């Protein structure tokens, strides 16, 4: 019986070392060497202090800032609670939430009568999306311009400069990272 158990334990030990130690160290080392920024959370720093991540959305409610897409997590943008609302298009709760968000946006910028882009009224699948559509950014431009006492054209040019195109030219949609856009506006002074 010992003849049968000894090889089994040796295989278990070797595989444990390979899968539990060697492989994780190898993958971590490669990630640090090849993708250092992404491997460390794509942290965004301002004056040497971490102010967020370019991969996880943040809540902004000051009129001087562009507002992110609504978060389905509780509390808002909680990385450990990533999830969507799971409301289907026929669920009345989804319509109520979207209408409530649209009303809040209209109240914050009552002079803006243009249609509100859908991504400002609905949460993303993860609830942590750091991006909004260029249409959502341009929709907010008049409010941000008034609050910052800047010309709308200047705000629009900052949006254009921060609009990311489709990945590899074909994947996804054009998008604007809200945190990076807001940090850029803070430097406009």
- CA-to-CA separations, 165 to 145, 160, 170, 175, in angstroms, rounded: 24, 11, 9, 7
| Rg of the chain in Å (alpha carbons) | 23
Mean pLDDT for the chain overall = 89
Judged against a pLDDT cut of 90, whether residue 179 lies above it is answered with yes
pLDDT tens column, 10-40: 999 999 999 999 999 999 999 999 998 888 8
Residue 94, pLDDT > 90, answer: no
In sequence order, the β-bridge partners of residue 46 are 49
Taking the C-alpha atoms of residue 63 and residue 147, their distance in angstroms, rounded to an integer, is 6
Kindly list the distances between the CA atom of residue 2 and the CA atoms of 10, 12, 16, 175, in Å, as whole numbers in the listed order.
Answer: 12, 15, 21, 63
User: Kind and range of the H or E element at 163?
Assistant: strand 163-164
Task: Give the global pTM.
Answer: 0.80
Span 50-81, pLDDT tens digits: 888 888 888 898 999 999 998 877 677 766 66
């Amino acid at each position: 019986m010992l003849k049968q158990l000894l090889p089994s334990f040796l295989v278990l030990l070797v595989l444990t070392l390979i899968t539990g130690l060697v492989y994780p160290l190898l993958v971590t080392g490669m990630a640090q060497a090849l993708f250092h920024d992404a491997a460390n959370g794509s942290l965004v720093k301002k004056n040497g202090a971490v102010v967020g991540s370019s991969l996880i959305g943040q809540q902004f409610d000051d009129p001087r800032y562009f507002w992110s897409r609504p978060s389905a997590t509780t509390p808002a943008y909680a990385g450990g609670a990533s999830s969507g609302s799971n409301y289907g298009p026929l669920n009345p709760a989804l319509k109520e939430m979207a209408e409530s968000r649209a009303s809040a946006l209209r109240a914050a910028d009552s002079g803006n009568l243009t249609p509100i882009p859908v991504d400002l009224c609905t949460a993303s699948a993860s609830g942590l999306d750091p991006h909004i559509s260029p249409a959502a950014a341009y929709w907010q431009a008049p409010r941000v311009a008034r609050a910052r006492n800047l010309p709308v054209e200047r705000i629009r040019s900052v949006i254009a400069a921060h609009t990311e195109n489709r990945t590899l030219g074909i994947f996804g949609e054009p998008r604007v990272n809200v945190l990076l856009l807001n940090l850029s506006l803070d430097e406009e002074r």
